[in-house]
Amino acid sequence: MSATPGGGVRTLRVPGRHGYAAEFSPYLPGRLACAASQHYGIAGSGTLLILDQNESGLRLFRSFDWNDGLFDVTWSENNEHVLVTCSGDGSLQLWDTARATGPLQVFKEHTQEVYSVDWSQTRGEQLVVSGSWDQTVKLWDPTVGKSLCTFRGHESVIYSTIWSPHIPGCFASSSGDKTLRIWDVKTTGVRIVVPAHQAEILSCDWCKYNENLVVTGAVDCSLRGWDLRNVQQPVFELLGHTYAIRRVKFSPFHASVLASCSYDFTVRFWNFSKPDPLLETVEHHTEFTCGLDLSLQSPTQVADCAWDETIKIYDPVCLTMLA
């Protein structure tokens, strides 16, 4: 395991581990979690990596192994030490970074791979939502040993489940059935179904500044923005990726800025309010780029991870200029 600072990019190489998801801590500046798998997630075990930044680059603070590939990770919103991961064996794992061993708890109800997990961001509720290839979404309270409810309706595998940062009890999901769906925990039903692409939708995210705006990223290489008050047409479409878009994230600092990563090995930064929306293309991976996050603490800092066994933290030129 080696860390290399260079050209403003801090890199940690993790031999034999292929990165699936990266998430900055909402509490500790510079702390990053990465969910990774052996053998590209097809077989073998998984590892949760906790990284810290220092002057010399990235250092591994702690790592936890699981007996199947880990596909996503989310930090607790009420405890700086706690995270949840999800796995190819259909389970969710609750970890505590203050303890050298884990997990604290395992939630096993999904019958196929769990590809997405997200901790609610609105005050007053501590809920986790998970999306699985078994075509269901499950709602969890981490203090309760079993799921609170199951959401059915998607007609193919679920790739992404993301809480609204604005509306309590509301989350979005995207699926291989080519739809974006908006759900309400209170009614345990789907509120809106958007046939958002004519291809599998691997990722979605909520705008941090507009409660009605959701972005989708799909296998058709396009990003589309949706105003949930009128979903007949996208409010924007962003083209430029040359292979499937694996993950999309809105900026926490700029209302019209977002980032996407792709199987074309690139990370791209966009401002959908501009006539020429592509701000920057970052090409520093040599394999599928799967994990992406924008720091909540620093307006310029981005983390990503890829199947080339590297995790990178950097400050893209376009965000530095915006700051």
Task: Count Cα atoms within 13 angstroms, Cβ side, for 290.
Answer: 26
- Report how far residue 167's alpha carbon sits from residue 314's, in angstroms, rounded to the nearest whole number: 31
Average pLDDT in the chain = 94
Share of the chain above pLDDT 90, in %: 89
Map the chain to HEC letters.
CEEEEECCEEEEECCCCEEEEEEECCCCCCCEEEEEECHHHCCCCEEEEEEEEECCEEEEEEEEEECCCEEEEEECCCCCCEEEEEECCCEEEEEECCCCCCCCEEEECCCCCEEEEEECCCCCCCCEEEEECCCEEEEECCCCCCCCEEEECCCCCEEEEEECCCCCCEEEEEECCCCEEEEECCCCEEEEEECCCCCCEEEEEECCCCCCEEEEEECCCEEEEEECCECCCCCEEEECCCCCEEEEEECCCCCCEEEEEECCCCEEEEECCCCCCEEEEECCCCCCEEEEEECCCCCCCEEEEECCCEEEEECCHHHHHHC
3: pLDDT strictly greater than 90: no
pLDDT digits 0-9 by tens, 12-24: 999 999 999 999 9
Higher pLDDT, 38 or 285: 285
The pLDDT, as a whole number, for residue 121 is 85
Q: How far is CA 239 from CA 91, 175, 209, 246, 250, in A?
A: 35, 20, 23, 14, 16
Q: Where are the domains of the chain?
A: 110-321
What's the order of all strands across the beta sheet hosting 136-140? 114-119, 128-132, 136-140, 149-152
- Report how far residue 291's alpha carbon sits from residue 273's, in angstroms, rounded to the nearest whole number: 25
The pLDDT, as a whole number, for residue 2 is 46
The pLDDT, as a whole number, for residue 5 is 43
- Report how far residue 5's alpha carbon sits from residue 53's, in angstroms, rounded to the nearest whole number: 10
pTM score of the predicted model: 0.95
7: pLDDT strictly greater than 90: no
pLDDT digits 0-9 by tens, 115-165: 999 999 877 789 999 999 999 999 999 999 899 999 999 999 999 999 999
Share of the chain above pLDDT 70, in %: 96
pLDDT digits 0-9 by tens, 267-284: 999 999 999 999 999 999
CATH superfamily of 110-321: YVTN repeat-like/Quinoprotein amine dehydrogenase (2.130.10.10)
Higher pLDDT, 225 or 40: 225
40: pLDDT strictly greater than 90: no
